[in-house]
């Protein structure tokens, strides 16, 4: 039975449980003087039966599907002949892949021999057993849960409290998913990164000056030594983010000041949604814009004044990234400037300050901590931004201070290392996870600091 | 100064739109060439219509139209004027109506992308022959065809009905759109209930202690984690650990769910917070339990705000590319995905793929795909705005 139809069957079973539970509640209450004598309203008895029918079965279902593949693969591998079992791990993986392809009817990358065919048949056989067993078990658990609750329905059963407790646990479970996500990120990235650091020492990765992640596949191959010094990558990231900030912070800040202090209502109502559009454009569109319009424009402009500009210059990527971040900076600063109490402004006006003096000497200093927090958040976005740099910045890791040269960033390297075919035992692939770990830690630190600063600032005036 | 800053950013916005629309609008038209194809019975054996030599028929038709072309090189250049999709088109026509065999039919077939570019004026005629994608002879043939009224620009239906292709004139965004739709469906199905449930717990039930503080800080931080890190998580956990299929919308949906959850939770909590306490007190006062209060009274009032937040989160998920690159949704996929586990791409990934292609015709198609993506986003955001306006309530 396919998982989909099993799912639908389970749903039907749960609704049946609902009606049975409700009917039972009416039935048991009929002897003692009507539904009024029940502890809870009859629907709660139905709901309780439906939940006991559905939830344990669903948990079983999910657990089974998660583990099925591993177990079946393990059983098939253990049935393989001795000679094949003694192969190195990656060869066995390839073999298993081929067997799985045979089962699903895909193209197989090697000649099919009898052993393979037998293994595939075995695999298919196990799969059939497994799905049949799953269907029987899930339905049995569902029906069992339903009957168990139904047998326990008496007028004094506190069905509402039971149902509410179940809902509460569900709510708690949902809100812990955020924690599990963080743990998942940390563990997955950390695990692969540690494997990487077994091959390449941490110090070499963090302080090395040469980045060329192409590894030689054979020992006698020329030209691909594999150097994993990430300093040029970090430098490129810093350069492009710095250019982006040079664009975004002044423009964003000034538009925020204008919006909150000078602009009249009509202008604000018109300009704000437009700025929000700028914030809502997907980054891939910015990337396309950067690669198609901005980069050639900068190259041509550079050529006319006699500069040698690379067509994938850091300047183009940084510029467009800056444009992307403008609305982010401006909306954060807008909030923060609005949070400065009116009393401060009134006090400055009372002392005879002009509007621009008030803004420069009273409002901005008061808002400064919050603005710094906002800028930190913006920096963390610039560092983590991927598509613009993938499309507009280069791949070559250059350690240079020239913004017109081509540079690469952490995110670009992650994408280029991981897109396409990968093998999970080469440092080349694992390096992406090490870079991801650095990226995660740096952005996390920036965020924590920024959120802390902004919160402290808010509390100051509340 | 401030005004100049706003105007500068708005100028960037309009420059972006103008350049993309300017490059993209021509992609909605495609050049077609009318061929009078003679489906001779000796080339088409009725018993083997499926495997007949359709490219040969197209070539023969072209030779008969330009009998003066003799040398092999010239012939090859002549054949290059017509898209390789023409043969498939004729094949399907014949398979649908086998009675056509033996007749001469007049069909409009897509021209090659270089011809298309020429007709649209993207290939300049006065540059030297070597610097041009089309030779002088090819230009003359196209002019001859145009003179006979055999060249026409028509609405580009291929763009909206086909999957990806190596040939620009046969490439479409329908496959990517379906992939995006499937991915978003998974994202919506998972992230809305989970997001609302977490928001309800954190806002209405959670005791104020270290544990809930930790969850809160966590959600705020997750909202600012770069999207590519979620892609790494998806690659390591969903693909390598759980062994889910690569390039599948179901994995994309899971990753995007984790990514949009913080947005939805934060918006939903704000919506719950906006419901005045008097509603809760009134419900509790007439004897509702805490759970009944929340689910029967507070949640319905907060729902419009939650939906607005969800739509905005979905719009972000629709435009997201980087995590999908990590889980292999960048493959070259021609078929239209039919289910949640079929390999597929997504609309923004298609834009990324096409932007990398060297053919000039892909530039306008990339712009067109971008326009379609932006149109979807504008519709979603407008929906959110309408929802907010319609249900906005001041207490």
pLDDT score of B341: 79
Between helix B2-24 and helix A231-257 the angle, nearest 10°, is 120
pLDDT, tens digit, for every residue of A90-115? Answer: 677 777 777 777 777 666 666 667 77
pLDDT score of A110: 64
pLDDT, tens digit, for every residue of B325-357? Answer: 888 887 777 788 887 878 888 899 998 888 887
CB contact under 8 A, B198 and A285: no
Write the DSSP assignment of B120-142 as a string of letters: TT-S-SSS-GGGSSS-HHHHHHH
Averaged pLDDT of chain B: 84
Q: Are strands B104-110 and B151-155 parallel, antiparallel or unpaired?
A: unpaired
Q: Both ends of chain B: CA-CA distance in Å?
A: 39
For residue B287, pLDDT over 80 is answered with yes
pLDDT bin (cut points 50, 70, 90) of residue B254 is: very high
**Which of B198, B228, B237 is the closest to A386 by Cβ?**
B228
What proportion of chain B, given as a percentage, has pLDDT over 90?
Answer: 21
Q: What ranges do the domains of chain B cover?
A: 34-154, 174-391
Calculate how close chain B gets to A160, using CA atoms only, in Å: 9
For residue B395, pLDDT over 70 is answered with no
pLDDT bin (cut points 50, 70, 90) of residue B186 is: very high
What are the C-alpha distances in Å from B267 to residues B167, B199, B309, B325?
Answer: 44, 9, 5, 27
pLDDT bin (cut points 50, 70, 90) of residue A425 is: low
What are the C-alpha distances in Å from A112 to residues A87, A191, A374?
Answer: 18, 36, 60
For residue B127, pLDDT over 90 is answered with no
Averaged pLDDT of chain A: 83
Provide the token pair at A398: 């250059």
> What CA–CA distance (Å, rounded) separates A38 from A22?
11
pLDDT, tens digit, for every residue of B63-120? Answer: 888 888 778 888 888 888 888 888 888 888 888 887 777 778 888 888 888 888 887 7
pTM equals: 0.86
For residue B59, pLDDT over 80 is answered with yes
**CATH class name, domain A227-461:** mainly alpha
User: B218 touching A, CB under 8 A?
Assistant: yes
CB contact under 8 A, A444 and B197: no
Write the DSSP assignment of B219-233 as a string of letters: HHHHTTS-HHHHHHH
Task: Find which of B191, B213, B224 to mutate to test the A interface (most A CBs within 10 Å of its CB).
Answer: B224
> What CA–CA distance (Å, rounded) separates A119 from A245?
58
Mean pLDDT of A322-334: 89
For residue B268, pLDDT over 90 is answered with yes
CB contact under 8 A, B374 and A281: yes
Q: Which of A104-118, A278-292, A318-332, A445-459 has the lowest mean pLDDT?
A: A104-118
pLDDT score of B280: 92
What are the start and end residues of each CATH 1.10.3720.10 domain in chain A?
A: 227-461
pLDDT score of A321: 92
pLDDT score of B200: 93
> What CA–CA distance (Å, rounded) separates A427 from A200?
8
> What CA–CA distance (Å, rounded) separates A94 from A84?
12
- Smallest CA-to-CA distance from B192 within B275, B276, B274, B303 is with B303
- A chain contacts of residue B202, beta-carbon cutoff 8 Å: 175
Query: Which residues face A228 on adjacent strands?
Result: A211
> What CA–CA distance (Å, rounded) separates B159 from A32?
70
For residue A217, pLDDT over 70 is answered with no
- B chain contacts of residue A176, beta-carbon cutoff 8 Å: 215
> CATH 1.20.120.790: does it fit domain B174-391?
no
- B chain contacts of residue A259, beta-carbon cutoff 8 Å: 2, 6
């Amino acid at each position: 039975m396919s998982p989909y139809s099993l799912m639908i069957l389970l749903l039907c079973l749960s609704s049946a449980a609902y009606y049975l539970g409700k009917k039972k509640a009416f039935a048991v209450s009929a002897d003692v003087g009507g539904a009024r004598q029940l502890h809870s309203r009859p629907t709660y008895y139905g709901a309780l039966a439906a939940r006991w029918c559905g939830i344990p079965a669903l948990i079983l279902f999910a657990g089974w599907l998660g583990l099925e593949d591993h177990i079946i693969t393990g059983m098939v591998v253990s049935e393989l002949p001795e000679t094949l079992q003694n192969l190195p791990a990656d060869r066995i993986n390839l073999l298993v892949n081929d067997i799985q392809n045979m089962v699903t009817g895909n193209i197989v990358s090697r000649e099919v021999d009898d052993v393979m065919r037998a293994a595939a048949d075995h695999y298919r056989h196990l799969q059939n057993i497994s799905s049949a067993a799953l269907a029987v078990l899930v339905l049995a658990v569902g029906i069992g849960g339903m009957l168990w609750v139904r047998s326990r329905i008496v007028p004094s059963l506190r069905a509402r409290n039971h149902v509410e407790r179940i809902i509460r646990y569900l709510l708690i479970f949902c809100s812990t998913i955020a924690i599990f996500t963080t743990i998942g990120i940390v563990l997955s990235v950390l695990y692969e990164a540690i494997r990487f650091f077994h091959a390449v020492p941490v110090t070499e990765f963090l302080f090395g000056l040469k980045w060329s992640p192409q590894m030689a596949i054979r020992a006698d191959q020329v030209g691909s030594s594999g150097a994993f010094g990430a300093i040029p990558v970090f430098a490129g990231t810093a350069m492009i983010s710095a250019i982006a900030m040079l664009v975004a912070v002044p423009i964003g800040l000034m538009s925020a000041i204008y919006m909150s202090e000078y602009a009249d209502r009509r202008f604000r109502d018109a300009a704000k949604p437009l700025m929000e559009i700028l914030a809502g454009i997907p980054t891939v569109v910015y990337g396309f814009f950067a690669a198609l319009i901005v980069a050639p424009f900068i190259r041509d402009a550079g050529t006319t004044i006699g500069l040698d500009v690379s067509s994938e210059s850091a300047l183009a990527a940084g510029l467009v990234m800056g444009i992307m971040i403008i609305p982010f900076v401006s909306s954060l600063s807008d909030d923060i400037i609005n949070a400065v109490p009116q009393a401060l402004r009134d006090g400055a006006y009372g002392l005879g300050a002009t509007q621009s003096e008030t803004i420069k000497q009273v409002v901005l200093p008061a808002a400064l901590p919050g603005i710094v927090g906002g800028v930190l958040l913006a920096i963390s976005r610039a560092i983590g931004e991927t598509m613009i740099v993938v499309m507009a910045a280069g791949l070559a890791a250059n350690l240079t201070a020239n913004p017109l040269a081509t540079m690469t960033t952490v995110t670009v390297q992650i994408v280029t290392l991981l897109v396409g075919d990968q093998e999970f035992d080469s440092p080349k692939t694992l390096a992406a996870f090490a870079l991801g770990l650095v990226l995660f830690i740096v952005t996390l630190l920036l965020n924590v600091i920024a959120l802390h600063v902004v919160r402290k600032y808010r509390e100051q005036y509340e | 100064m401030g005004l100049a800053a706003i105007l500068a950013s708005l100028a960037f916005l309009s420059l972006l739109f103008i350049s993309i629309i300017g490059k993209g609008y021509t992609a909605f038209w495609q050049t077609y060439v009318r061929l009078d194809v003679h489906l001779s019975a000796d080339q088409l054996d009725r018993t083997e219509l499926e495997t007949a030599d359709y490219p040969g028929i197209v070539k023969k038709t072209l030779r008969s139209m330009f009998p003066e072309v003799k040398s092999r090189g010239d012939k090859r250049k002549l054949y290059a004027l017509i898209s390789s999709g023409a043969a498939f088109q004729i094949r399907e026509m014949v398979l649908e109506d086998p009675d056509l065999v033996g007749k001469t039919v007049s069909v409009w077939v897509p021209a090659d992308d270089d011809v298309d570019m020429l007709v649209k004026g993207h290939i300049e005629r006065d540059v030297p022959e070597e610097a041009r994608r089309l030779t002088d002879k090819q230009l003359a043939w196209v002019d001859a065809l145009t003179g006979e009224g055999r060249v026409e620009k028509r609405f580009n239906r291929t763009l909206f009905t086909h999957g990806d292709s190596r040939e620009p004139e046969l490439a479409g965004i329908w496959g990517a759109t379906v992939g995006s739709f499937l991915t978003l469906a998974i994202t919506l199905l998972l992230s809305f209930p989970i997001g609302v449930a977490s928001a309800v717990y954190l806002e209405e039930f959670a005791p104020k202690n270290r544990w809930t503080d930790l969850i809160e800080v966590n959600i705020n931080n997750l909202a600012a984690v770069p999207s590519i890190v979620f892609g790494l998580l998806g690659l390591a956990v969903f693909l390598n650990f759980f062994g889910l299929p690569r390039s599948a919308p179901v994995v994309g949906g899971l990753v995007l769910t984790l990514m949009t959850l913080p947005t939805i939770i934060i918006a939903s909590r704000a919506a719950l917070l906006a419901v005045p306490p008097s509603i809760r007190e009134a419900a509790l006062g007439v004897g509702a339990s805490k759970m009944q209060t929340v689910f029967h009274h507070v949640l319905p009032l907060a729902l419009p705000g939650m939906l607005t937040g969800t739509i905005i989160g979905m719009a972000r998920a629709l435009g997201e590319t980087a995590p999908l690159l990590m889980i292999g949704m960048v493959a070259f996929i021609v078929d239209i995905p039919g289910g949640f586990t079929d390999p597929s791409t997504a609309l923004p990934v298609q834009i990324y793929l096409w932007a990398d292609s060297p053919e000039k015709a892909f530039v306008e198609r990339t712009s067109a795909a971008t326009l379609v993506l932006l149109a979807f986003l504008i519709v979603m955001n407008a929906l959110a705005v309408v929802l907010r306006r319609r249900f906005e309530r001041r207490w």
